[in-house]
Structure 1
Amino acid sequence: MIIGTAGHIDHGKTALVGALTGVDTDRLKEEKARGISIDLGFAYLPTENGILGFIDVPGHERLVHTMLAGAGGIDFALLVIAADDGVMPQTREHLAILDLLGVSRGLVALTKADLVDAPRRAAVSSEIAAALEGTALAGAPILPVSARTGEGLAELRDALVAAAATVAGRNEGRFRLSVDRSFALAGAGTVVTGTVVSGAVAVGDRVVVSPSGLAARVRSIHAQNRPAERGIAGDRCALNLAGEGVTAPAISRGDVVLDPSLHAPTDRIDARLRVLASEPKPLGTWFPARLHHGAVEIGARVVPLSAEAMAPGDEGLVQLVLERPIAAAVRDRFVLRDTSARRTIGGGRFLDLRAPARKRRTPERLAVIEAAAEADPAVALAGLLELPPYHLDLDAFARDRALATDAPAALAAGLGLVTLAAGGVTLALSASRWAGLRAGIAEALAAYHAANPDLAGMGVEKLRLEQAIRLPRPAFLLALARLAEAGMLAVEGAWVRLAGHEVRLTPRDEVLWEAVEPMLAGPERFRPPRVRDIAGRLDEPEAEIRRLFKLLSRLGKVDEVAHDHFFLRPVVSVMVGHAKALAADGEFGAAAFRDRIEGGAGAGEHAVGRKVAIQILEFFDRHGVTLRRGDLRRINRHRLDLFGVADAPPAAGDDAAKASALSP
């Protein structure tokens, strides 16, 4: 159990911790000279219920920011109040901070009890009980103690040991440690200390220091001041880190050492804020403050969302715009202090780490924030999926809440979600929204077929943009692949059609196509005859051949590369593949492309020629497959699937493989 001291300066916090543990937590020369705590101090007490870790914090008003750096990871508050002074200004501020941080377990040590008589003890105890009213520590036990005479120390120790037996486990998410010290140790290297906020870490694990993104490896661990192979949530840990660029100055108080999958810093956060009643004025838009989260302190601007301003004592939604990114998680606690570091303004919880800069007060946006505020991830996820855009990145949802690695799959199974893993994102929809998407696609295709019975189908992008649930393109392609597997529809080239819809050539057109198709294949495939040449060979009117090709183009069988110059669709795919191969070595010119396809066509009378090669490349330019700069071109990999060419071979069984195979 991690115990944090709190209280006014010179009320005996350090002396009390020393009397309990035998450790003087004032380690700095200046602390010993002045007789006050300036930085965080740490001590440990082995007991029958495990090791009790103490974080001794400064009580001076100018060092409240240091107190906050130690208070973020505590399980139990030891509020220290001197019997001769009673409740003092920093007592009240520390108590308010503990309340804002949600610390609900603790007790009060009435120190220097040997200096006062029984009536004074009773009077101060009544004063303390009144100060605790209305806070999370209301009704906490008050134990008179004296570090000088030893009075009450045994009872205090017993109370702390009993509390340790009932300490609740922290969440079982991915590993996060909030750094409060970073230093170099002779013979070891860089060491960071802090409290493990969630998850676990083991010797040899790869970690990232966030927000800087510095990669490191854990060489050794001390947990609760003892060598260990693992550190778990709730432990005070010292991690010996190694890696390129890993030095003590490169890691600062306020950084977070975490599982690499959690590294996603943010500088704009939607949150719920409670303003203390002691605040002198309302908080308006762009109110300046200092934000304390974990051990980090950073400048922030407060933008009220629930109202134009937040009055003292109000609670509501705000957006916090930070001066630089920090590492955080949804539901983390924070505290706001004024820019002069004289008073605590309020505090609350983070609700959404990816807050928008615009349209942040719309009813739709406020509904999203309220849904995200649910403590239970499953309840929050279910609520978010019922709000526009009716889908979300499941992996990012779990990452921002620091949930366990297997949480996305467990949430999807528990809620019966439909997931679409494409484009490096796992998109989730509720079963009812998936059914609605299916119905919307079917209705759009049926209406299109009714209005255009002679067309092969509807364009993929047009179909996507007509849906009420508008998925990103990679996910939409995968959705079409799923529906094609189920037999509902078919994807042919750039067109989508219902499974029962088919455009047929007339018997006359079938006969004509049987005569034309061989002319576009074989040795002439990279330089097929034009409409007039085909018409001459077959003794048919040019208009008739042109009409046939226009129909075949809509069916996805041919592409008009240049005016009246049609290529078979499979041949176009092959030519895109040649361009992609050339681009592997960088940009390429028309001559290199001509030589490449001439090699595929074979030398001689069917040579492609520069003019036709340029026409083909200009066709690719128009469709965005190639990007031209002067006389050179490069491949646009985002458009390779337009003619059925994959950017890279997909892994067998991968969902993305299905989308690629059916992509237009």
Structure 2
Amino acid sequence: MIVGTAGHIDHGKTSLVRAITGVDTDRLKEEKARGISIDLGFAYMPAGDGTVMGFIDVPGHEKFVHTMLAGAGGIDLALLVVAADDGVMPQTREHLAIIDLLGVRHGLIALTKTDLVDEERILAVTVEIEALVAGTVLEGAAILPVSTHTGAGIAAVRAALEEARASIAQRACEGRFRLAVDRSFTLQGTGTVVTGTVLSGTVDVGDRLMLSPSGRSVRVRSIRAQDRPAERGQAGDRCGINLAGEGLAKDDISRGDVLLDESLHAPADHIDARLNVLSGEPKPIGQWFPVRLHHAAREVGARIVLLGDPIAPGGSALVQLVLDAPISAAVGDRYVIRDTSAQRTIGGGVFLDLRGPARKRRTPERLAQLTAMAETDPAEAVKRLLDIPPFFLDLSTFARDRALGEQAVPMLVTALNLKTFAVGPGNALLALSGARWAAFSSGLLATLDTFHTENPDLPGLGIEKLRLQSEPRLPAPAFKAALQALAQTREIALDGAWVRRSGFSVRLTSQDEGAWSRIAPMLGDTERFRPPRTRDIANAIGMSEADVRRLLKLLGRLARVDEVAHDHFFLRGTVGEMVVILERLSAEHGEFTAAQFRDQVDNGRKVAIQILEFFDRHGVTLRRGDMRRLNPHRLDLFRSTADDVPADKRPADALDPAEITVPEASMASAQDGGEASLVGRPDFKSGRGREPVLGGFDSHSLPPSSPKAPKDERQ
């Protein structure tokens, strides 16, 4: 248990701690000279069960309230000290307000210097204190008369502390480790040491930690927990931790830094919070009101952004705190705000969301989210968040910002029956409720069914267009992860940039089939290496040029043809046959010219060059000046199959299509619901505002990425 003193200057806080523990917490020369506490002081006392109680003694002077706040952030019990001769004073009221704002649940009140007054004065001050604490966390707390000069009442204070220690539940250690640094110093022969109260989790000797918000990595060399050597420190302990790090010095660490588990490092500077304004504030809190924010041991400038109307004295409202510098915090942490002149405490509250948006922060949806985030139980907060827009949650960020333990996320997923996806390079875990996932998937499948019914000649719906029609509307990376999940269950298939129902295939209309039966012979047989262009085909069969172009592009989606040059389509089998010819030229000559290729396909130089430029664009050939060579890494893009090229037209030394293997990466894509070959993937755009070309490549496509070719094969 950590006990923190509170009260006005010269009311005997330090003397009372010394009388209880035997330790003088005034350690500075100036404190000894002036007879007042200036900085935080620390003392320890063995408890009856062998554990140790820690004491944080705070200064009472109004100029050092910021120091008092640095020590009050991690206490379990507040020991409010009021001198019987002075009675309630300004810092008595301010310290009590701070204790109330910080949500300290347990407390005792020591009425000191009773040896200086009579019984009537003691009774009058007792009544004054009872009136002061009414309606605060210390309402009903025991008021114990004591004199450090005579020793009267000290035993009663010790007994009350022991009783309180037994009733205060030990802080849970399941969360990840956080310690608020309130001191940093160097010990000769030991090195850099930081002290503070462990806010959550546990730490062991040898652990790798991080100093936040600076992001400096350190290692734990040794630990003193509750002023005793230890192998482990845990939530609720006062710890001194000896740190090691490259070039680390005490000046690299400042009061207010947080030593934490490396996974928690995510400093915040836009924090949505609940703000309670003290009733003594002279006027309402307005927009962009400047304050000093105190959190744990940190003090930083901030501005208050109202999420509603101005906050009247004694009122409470949702706000966003825009900080001058980022801090390390957790959802649920308490904070206090004071005026910029450091003369008064204005209010305080609790952090609700560390990632507050800079825009659209006052919408009804956003305010509903903050109400859900106010739930202290993580499971209840997740449940409520998933029931309101946007109906999904970044579970990894949620767990990190609440400093939840390693097992918390799997437990939440199981307990709430969540559907999750790993998204992005950091594998952030996005979650939907089970019911929402069922509605999402059924709605998506229904959209695809409708699309296929209305568009039997199209291969599928574009991913982005489908995302915009789906509810909830997931972010693009999460939507793609959801599609992969559906593809793995074989409910859908992913064809590059398109999504279709499994089992669906594009069908030509009877009219298009008839037209194709007339066009196909014109592209094949002896003229296959020099087929007519779109305009010539249209004139020959009496169709409009636009209709012929539309049909041939549709056939491109079906992987029956490839647009080698603008409006110049070749049969897919012919393209594969030309790859075989290129293989033969490469085997015979290594490098070859356009003229050599032209002679093999027996067409004009212009068409031969257009074909080679088509292969250049897709990396099948590598050009150096007037010479080209084959890129073996791209042969599978257009390699012939047995159905494409008749056996009697294949060179004797050509590879047997049956022996061609699919690369492992392509097989992995197929197992994930994607196409097993890059050919047939409709994810290469034609450029110049033209539509994506499905099932092949066109004359304006960029080549797909590939591993670097050997040095002698690169241009």
Q: Is the structural similarity TM-score above 0.5? A: yes
8 Å contact from structure 2 (residues 13, 57) kept in 1: yes
**3-state SS of paired residue (2:252):** coil
**1:579-598 equivalent positions in 2, closer than 5 A:** none
Q: Offset at 1:566?
A: 5.8
2:436 to 415, 428, 433: 433
- Corresponding residue number in structure 2 for 1:19: 19
8 Å contact from structure 1 (residues 4, 56) kept in 2: yes
Unaligned runs of 5+ in 1: 520-527, 573-593, 621-647
Q: Offset at 1:553?
A: 2.4
Does residue 197 of the first structure (1) align with residue 211 of the second (2)?
Answer: no
Cα gap change, 1:562 to 1:355, in 2 (>3 Å): farther
8 Å contact from structure 2 (residues 493, 673) kept in 1: no
8 Å contact from structure 2 (residues 523, 570) kept in 1: no
Spell out, residue by residue over 1:187-211, the C-alpha distance to the aligned partner (whole angstroms, 9 max, x if none): 1111111000000111111111111
Shifted more, 501-510 versus 102-111: the winner is: 501-510
Distance (Å, rounded) in 2 between the aligned partners of 1:127 and 1:571: 100
8 Å contact from structure 2 (residues 179, 259) kept in 1: yes
Q: Offset at 1:471?
A: 1.7
- Corresponding residue number in structure 2 for 1:81: 82
Shifted more, 468-477 versus 123-132: the winner is: 468-477
Q: Larger radius of gyration, structure 1 or 2?
A: 2
**1:280-291 equivalent positions in 2, closer than 5 A:** 280-291=282-293
Distance (Å, rounded) in 2 between the aligned partners of 1:656 and 1:335: 56
Shifted more, 508-517 versus 349-358: the winner is: 508-517
Q: Offset at 1:354?
A: 0.7
Does residue 37 of the first structure (1) align with residue 37 of the second (2)?
Answer: yes
Distance (Å, rounded) in 2 between the aligned partners of 1:43 and 1:659: 64
Which residue identity is paired with 2:6?
Answer: A
Identity %: 60
**3-state SS of paired residue (1:399):** helix
Q: Offset at 1:115?
A: 1.3
Unaligned runs of 5+ in 2: 576-581, 599-606, 620-662, 684-715
Spell out, residue by residue over 1:101-124, the C-alpha distance to the aligned partner (whole angstroms, 9 max, x if none): 001201011111111122211111
Distance (Å, rounded) in 1 between the aligned partners of 2:439 and 2:193: 54
8 Å contact from structure 1 (residues 282, 311) kept in 2: yes
Which residue identity is paired with 1:475?
Answer: A
Spell out, residue by residue over 1:535-587, the C-alpha distance to the aligned partner (whole angstroms, 9 max, x if none): 999xx979798666422323366664641356899999xxxxxxxxxxxxxxx
- Corresponding residue number in structure 2 for 1:128: 129
8 Å contact from structure 1 (residues 3, 54) kept in 2: yes
8 Å contact from structure 1 (residues 562, 616) kept in 2: no
Which residue identity is paired with 1:476?
Answer: F
Does residue 475 of the first structure (1) align with residue 475 of the second (2)?
Answer: no
TM-score in terms of structure 2 length: 0.78
- Corresponding residue number in structure 2 for 1:323: 324
Which residue identity is paired with 1:488?
Answer: E
Spell out, residue by residue over 1:295-352, the C-alpha distance to the aligned partner (whole angstroms, 9 max, x if none): 0000010112131x11101111111110011001111100010000000000100001
- Corresponding residue number in structure 2 for 1:109: 110
Spell out, residue by residue over 1:4-29, the C-alpha distance to the aligned partner (whole angstroms, 9 max, x if none): 00000001111111111111110100
Does residue 350 of the first structure (1) align with residue 351 of the second (2)?
Answer: yes
Does residue 658 of the first structure (1) align with residue 669 of the second (2)?
Answer: no
- Corresponding residue number in structure 1 for 2:139: 138
Distance (Å, rounded) in 2 between the aligned partners of 1:559 and 1:278: 79
8 Å contact from structure 1 (residues 214, 245) kept in 2: no
Distance (Å, rounded) in 2 between the aligned partners of 1:434 and 1:459: 21
Q: Offset at 1:289?
A: 0.5
Q: Offset at 1:57?
A: 0.2
8 Å contact from structure 2 (residues 565, 610) kept in 1: no
**3-state SS of paired residue (1:160):** helix
Spell out, residue by residue over 1:459-492, the C-alpha distance to the aligned partner (whole angstroms, 9 max, x if none): 1221112213122233222222222233322222
8 Å contact from structure 1 (residues 391, 429) kept in 2: yes
Q: Offset at 1:39?
A: 0.3
Aligned pairs, how many?
605
2:501 to 498, 501, 514: 498
- Corresponding residue number in structure 2 for 1:638: none
**1:233-252 equivalent positions in 2, closer than 5 A:** 233-252=235-254
Q: Offset at 1:616?
A: 6.5
Distance (Å, rounded) in 2 between the aligned partners of 1:209 and 1:660: 44
- Corresponding residue number in structure 2 for 1:591: none
- Corresponding residue number in structure 1 for 2:156: 155
TM-score in terms of structure 1 length: 0.83
8 Å contact from structure 1 (residues 197, 233) kept in 2: yes
Spell out, residue by residue over 1:76-116, the C-alpha distance to the aligned partner (whole angstroms, 9 max, x if none): 01111111111111001000000000012010111111111
**3-state SS of paired residue (2:251):** coil
**1:408-419 equivalent positions in 2, closer than 5 A:** 408-419=409-420
Shifted more, 447-456 versus 396-405: the winner is: 447-456
Distance (Å, rounded) in 1 between the aligned partners of 2:188 and 2:195: 16
Shifted more, 355-364 versus 551-560: the winner is: 551-560
Which residue identity is paired with 1:234?
Answer: G
- Corresponding residue number in structure 2 for 1:206: 208
Distance (Å, rounded) in 1 between the aligned partners of 2:120 and 2:229: 48
